Amino acid sequence: MKFCLGVDADGQLAGVATVGRPVARHYDDGYTLEINRTCTDGTPHVNSMLYGAAWRAAKAMGYRRLITYTQAGESGASLRAAGYRVVAELEPRANWAGSSVTLRHLRDPDGPGGVQRSLWEAS
């Protein structure tokens, strides 16, 4: 993880985001970070606030690109509201470790594979 951040709503933590180096090797160029996870309590607009704040923080640290993914069926409304755009539609894989040589031992035949994903970026 490079950094994490949270959103305060009326004195309560309403959402958090974790940002780190890209999971995919070919995006790990020293200029790109990836939002690995966001979580909110459902307070309106918190996810958009997290995505926007994450990009501002990444830029302030000298990064040029921030990426994240959505799965098929997720609207991406929070990402669009924060200024992100879809840059690639990725085909479903057998499972989350399907393309990794080093993680083949972690493959789970009942895992979350088979889902189309969209790659989003702020740059």
95 in Cβ contact with 109 (< 8 Å): yes
Give the integer Cα–Cα distance in Å for 10 and 5.
16
3-122 topology per CATH? Aminopeptidase (3.40.630)
Edge-first strand listing for the sheet containing 12-20: 3-9, 12-20, 32-40, 65-71, 117-122, 85-90
Q: 54-95: per-residue pLDDT in tens?
A: 999 999 999 999 999 999 999 999 999 999 999 999 998 776
For residue 93, the model assigns a pLDDT of 77
Query: What is the domain partition of the chain in residue ranges?
Result: 3-122
Please tell me the pTM assigned to this model.
0.85
Q: 25-57: per-residue pLDDT in tens?
A: 999 999 999 999 999 999 999 999 999 999 999
